[in-house]
Chains A and B, each alone.
Chain A
Amino acid sequence: MTEKQDEDIRIGIFVCHCGTNIGGFVDCEQLAEYATTLPNVAHSEHNLYTCSETGLAAIRNAVKEHNLNRVVVASCTPRTHEPLFRDCVQEVGLNPYLFNFVNIRDQCTWVHMKETDAAFEKAKDLIKMGSAKAAKLEALERIVVDINPIALIIGGGISGMNTAISLSKQGFKTHLVEKEDKLGGRLKSLYKLFPNDQEASAFLEDMTKKVEASKNLTVYTSSKIKSIEGFIGNYNVEIEQNGDIISLNVGAIIVAVGASVFEPTNLFGYDGEKSITQLELENKLKNNEVDANNIVMIQCVGARNEERVYCSSICCMTALKNALIIKEFNPDAHVTILFRDIYTPGIQYEQYFKKARKAGVLFIKYTLEKLPLVDKNEIKVFNEYLGEEILIPYDLLVLSTPLIANNDNSDLAQMLKVPLEENNFFLEAHVKLRPIDFATDGIYICGSAKWPVDITESTTQGLAAASRASRILSHETIEVESSTAYLPEWNKSLCKGCEVCITICPYNAIIKNEDDEIEIIQALCKGCGTCGSTCTKHAIEIKHFNNEQIMAEIIAFGGKIIE
């Protein structure tokens, strides 16, 4: 069916030990040896770390020395390391699409640690399948798209403001969209900030001035995102502001929507008066309304439990900060913090904890199994260290509640086509390797939208997102995935004109042209491959995932086809 020239296929297979991550469970030397027995394999070797400079140099040398025209690396996962190896083979003159990845770590040795023999057999099969696909790979031309050098930041809290200021300073036209009527996000409701007790309002005012002074920056408050379409460099976004629709075309999008505060309804006598949240306390402190003498704080309210398994990471510091502020106003006040664990990472935060203890703040540990009981004027808590129940009188109870994901996160995630994690926070491409990126090109994440973070971290991430986005925005064009659908010349006669492909393409990338022929617009196609598996006559092919390639993988695993 395909009219390809027969070429002499020469595959090189590189098996990575990944230190002991792979090598500690399966014999990589034997895997490399096994690889030489596979069809078309001209060279194989095993490396301690194939992704290290030594490993990459080994690939480059082998390509030259053995005249390789396909490269297979069996190691971690294409989701993180495919770009690196593609670049590597490109440096020695191979088309990057002649590289193939085999995942024998994340999906093999790490998940079969106790069944090393079976893991070894699986790794062999996976290498066999990967090599069979490699033999069928075709060089692809990269598709180039224009970049519109404009940024959109969704969310005008502290991280979003930092991103916006930074990008506009770099000279990029920037749009900042905020759903509330003022910028600032959670910062608006805070009194003082840790670790230097700066006034939150002064800090926010300073940031707002910077935003206002930024030349290329347009702010849209009371605005909501209505729709997002397009791809890296060319996103069409509609926002709604007071009933009006504003259309923007941008090259990159930064998600900085922050988080919401958990409301402790029905927990620990919460009534907003005698039992309040830390946030409500901040407000009282701001207005100098705290006249209580016996103050008790309960940590981890609605957090680190079955419903919300995570640590909100900011509440310990908030409690310490507010306890110290109270002590400063009123040194005779009794402040008791009921905690499960205290989280004060780094030198500065740990000092805060020490300072609070010195100032006389009491710390009493409780457990999830024996929660403090709140009566009208007293709190009953089982003291772990004494092994007995104690009563603490209180006239103000402060509950430390976690930040939770915004309830409209899923709407936005669907518009952007990016994933959420199980608590509905946004999920980055990789927690260590790409913490500010989404897997989708041209979209970035920062601040508490991803995970509850404090101001310092929000700022750091906001600036990081600006720099990640500027890598794209500073180019006039960019190369994008070439594994798209197409209708090869030699398949055109197969097409019956049923137009089913046109119906199912979610991007309207397939049209009938003036010659009444099916045409697939490459720049619009995102390569999902659904048209290929739907085409009633098998005429459409999916580059890099074509039938022949996938069939080769199936056959490599299954054995010979019996016809």
Chain B
Amino acid sequence: MSFEPRILGFLCNWCSYAGADLAGVSRIQYPPNIRVIRVMCSGRVDPEFIFKALKLGIDGVIITGCHPGDCHYIEGNYEAVKKFELVQKLLSKLNMEKRIRLEWVSASEGNRFAEVITDFTNQIKELGPSPLSGKDLDMELMEKLEALEMAAESYRLRALVGRERKITEQENVYGEKYPKEKFDNLFDAAINNEYIRNRILLSLEKNPKSVKDLATQLNIDSKEILNHILVLKGRNQVAMEDIIENQPIYLNVMER
């Protein structure tokens, strides 16, 4: 049997959901793989939703909203872009970024809705089943995805995403704008750091480890690991448990 992907769609009520209804009224046919969750605005889609879906082995997630400038709530779709970009950047670490998509479909674009869904379904068919679907789960990949999710949930990344438009699009009191490239660099670095920190936390949750152990396990330079450990210590997320053979052993002390 050919692969029939399971696709989840988040449709904003005002444009895209109406566009999807119009496809129905006009009897425009598209692949039956998508299941829709209606939200009032594309800006409602929390990165958490996408991660949860992917962790469940759902093969693809598509978000559709009103065209730029047409959001029923003025700017919700611009916020959706920022959230989407974050998830995309995170997922690219696992080569999974093609499993998600953000598109604009207006209330009058029944045709376009069908096209977008057909195209995305084909894209997912080409990619094949999610590595997290099926019986034999790749637990290492799952742990990485989990670390990405935790990164997306972290205060630091959520605050950056929430402030991005204000920082890069509005002028400060001196009439200056923060350059977009500078912000992107900062953002990328933050994404990287939070991802690694959460991988460390997940690893330490299982059993306490030394910096060296972590470096070998995660295949990351031990100096870098040490830096992260220091930050995590500062955040009261890890603590030193013991010293064995002159090596401090760290443990995850977060409440979960």
Check: B53 CB closer than 8 A to any chain A CB: yes
User: A419 contacts B37, CB within 8 Å?
Assistant: no
Option from B32, B52, B74, B83 in Cβ contact (under 8 Å) with A119? B32
CA distance A439 to B22 in the complex (A): 14
Closest to B29 in A: A111
B8 close to A528 (CB less than 8 A)? no
A298 at the interface (CB under 8 A from B): no
Docked CA distance A527–B41 (Å): 9
Given contacts A107-B21, A427-B107, A504-B162, contact A129 B35 (CB under 8 A): yes
Choose, from A255-263, A334-342, A361-369, A529-537, the stretch at the interface: A529-537
A512 within 8 A of B: no
Contact of B52 among A108, A533, A554 (CB under 8 A): A554
Assembly CA distance A113 to B106 (angstroms): 23
Contact call B155/A529, Cβ cutoff below 8 A: no
In the assembled complex, B39 has its CB within 8 A of some CB on chain A: yes
Hey, what's the 0/1 contact readout for A514-532 against B, CB within 8 Å counting as 1?
0000000000001111101
Q: Chain A residues near B195: list those with CB within 8 A.
A: none
* Contact among B27, B49, B56, B163 with A561 in the assembled complex (CB-CB below 8 Å): B56
Mask for A487-515, Cβ within 8 A of B = 1, else 0?
Answer: 00000000010101101101100000000
From B14, B46, B55, residue with most partner A Cβ within 10 Å: B46
Contact B21 A558 (CB under 8 A): no
Interface size class of B (residues with CB under 8 A): 35 or more
User: Of B17, B30, B32, which is in contact with the most chain A CB atoms at under 10 Å from its CB?
Assistant: B32
Complex contacts, A118 vs chain B, CB 8 Å: 4, 32-33
A562: Cβ under 8 A from any B Cβ = yes
For the complex, is A420 an interface residue (Cβ under 8 Å from B)? yes
A422 contacts the other chain (Cβ, under 8 Å)?
yes
Contact stretch, chosen from B65-73, B225-233, B241-249: B65-73
B40–A554 CB distance below 8 A? no
Q: Are B23 and A557 in contact (CB under 8 A)?
A: no
- Whether B46 lies near A125 (C-beta < 8 A) is no
Q: Which of B44, B56, B79 contacts A504 (CB 8 A)?
A: B79
Q: Is the CB of B44 within 8 A of A111?
A: no
A114-B29 in contact (CB<8A):
yes
Write the chain A residue with the least CB distance to B18: A79
Q: Report B-chain residues with C-beta under 8 Å of the C-beta of A501.
A: 162
- A78, A110, A537, A542: the one contacting B25 at CB < 8 Å is A110
Q: How far is the CB of B50 from chain A (nearest CB, A)?
A: 9
CB contacts (< 8 Å) of B144 on chain A: these are none
CA distance A78 to B55 in the complex (A): 29
Beta-carbon contacts under 8 Å, A94-135 to B: 103, 105-108, 110-115, 118-119, 121-122, 125-126, 129
CB pair B108–A77 under 8 Å, yes or no, is no
Contact in complex: B49, A550 (CB < 8 Å): yes
Closest to A418 in B: B72
Q: Taking the nearest CB of chain B, how far is it from the CB of A450, in angstroms? A: 12
Interface centre among B25, B28, B166 (most CB of A within 10 A): B25
In Å, the complex CA distance between A114 and B30 comes to 10
* Complex partner residue of A122 from B13, B32, B69, B155, CB under 8 angstroms: B32
Q: Is the CB of A530 within 8 A of B27?
A: no
- B98-151 contacts to A, CB under 8 A, are 106-109, 114, 137, 142
Q: Residues of B contacting A112 with CB < 8 Å? A: 29-30, 32
Instruction: Please provide the chain A residues from 329 to 384 with a CB less than 8 Å away from any CB of chain B in the complex.
Output: none
Assess the A529–B25 pair: CB atoms within 8 A: no
Task: Given the known inter-chain contacts A414-B69, A421-B108, A554-B53, please indicate yes or no for A533 contacting B35, CB distance below 8 A.
Answer: no
A553-B24 contact given A111-B30, A420-B108, CB 8 Å threshold: no
Is there a chain B Cβ closer than 8 Å to A198's Cβ?
A: no
- Given A110-B27, A420-B108, A557–B73 Cβ distance below 8 Å? no
The reply to whether A419 and B107 form a contact with Cβ atoms under 8 Å apart is yes
Which residue of chain B has its CB nearest to the CB of A126?
Answer: B35
With A103-B36, A111-B27, A559-B56 known as contacts, the answer to whether A534 contacts B158 (CB < 8 A) is: yes
| Cα–Cα distance between A421 and B22 once the two chains are bound (Å) | 12
A417 lies within 8 A of chain B by Cβ: yes
Q: Contacts of A553 on B, CB cut-off 8 Å?
A: 37
Cβ–Cβ contact B79 & A125, under 8 A? no
In the complex with contacts A111-B23, A529-B44, A554-B37 CB distance below 8 A: yes
Compute how far the CA of A65 lies from the CA of B148 in the bound complex, rounded to whole angstroms. Answer: 49
Choose one: B28, B43, B162, B163; the contact of A529 (CB below 8 Å). Answer: B43
B39/A422 in contact, CB under 8 A? no
User: Could you tell me if A440 and B72 are in contact, using CB atoms closer than 8 angstroms?
Assistant: yes
Residues of A within 8 A of B29 (CB): 111-114
Chain A neighbourhood of B70, CB < 8 A: 413-414, 419
Who on chain B is nearest to A105 by CB?
B24
A68 to B28, CA, bound (A): 37
Contact of B142 among A427, A535, A562 (CB under 8 A): A562
- A392-445 residues at the B interface, CB under 8 angstroms: 413-414, 417, 419-422, 427, 439-440
**Is there a chain B Cβ closer than 8 Å to A547's Cβ?**
yes
Q: Does B211 contact A (CB under 8 A)?
A: no
Q: Is the CB of B6 within 8 A of A557?
A: yes
How far does the Cβ of B45 sit from chain A's closest Cβ, in whole Å?
Answer: 6
Query: Please, which residues of chain B bring their CB within 8 A of the CB of A419?
Result: 14-15, 18, 66, 70, 106-108
Q: Is A551 an interface residue (CB 8 A)?
A: yes
A451: Cβ under 8 A from any B Cβ: no
Residues of A within 8 A of B40 (CB): 483, 527-529, 545
Cα A129 to Cα B38 with chains together (Å): 11
Is A38 part of the binding interface, using a Cβ–Cβ cutoff of 8 Å?
no
From 536 to 560 in chain A, residues with beta carbon under 8 angstroms from any chain B beta carbon are 536-538, 542, 545, 547, 550-551, 553-555, 557-560
Minimum CB–CB distance for B113 against chain A, Å: 9
- By the criterion CB–CB under 8 Å, are A528 and B37 in contact? no
CB of B200 within 8 A of chain A?
no
Question: For residue B162, which residues in chain A have a CB less than 8 angstroms away from its CB?
Answer: 498, 500-501, 503-504, 534, 536
Which 6 residue pairs of A and B lie closest in terms of their CB atoms, listed nearest first? A558-B56, A106-B24, A529-B44, A530-B43, A500-B162, A528-B73
Provide a sorted-by-A list of 6 A–B residue pairs whose CB atoms are within 8 angstroms.
A103-B36, A126-B35, A506-B76, A533-B48, A553-B37, A558-B58
15 other contacts beyond A111-B28, A554-B56, with CB at 8 A cut-off? Answer: A108-B32, A122-B35, A422-B108, A440-B72, A500-B163, A503-B163, A504-B162, A529-B39, A533-B44, A533-B47, A533-B48, A537-B155, A551-B52, A557-B6, A558-B57
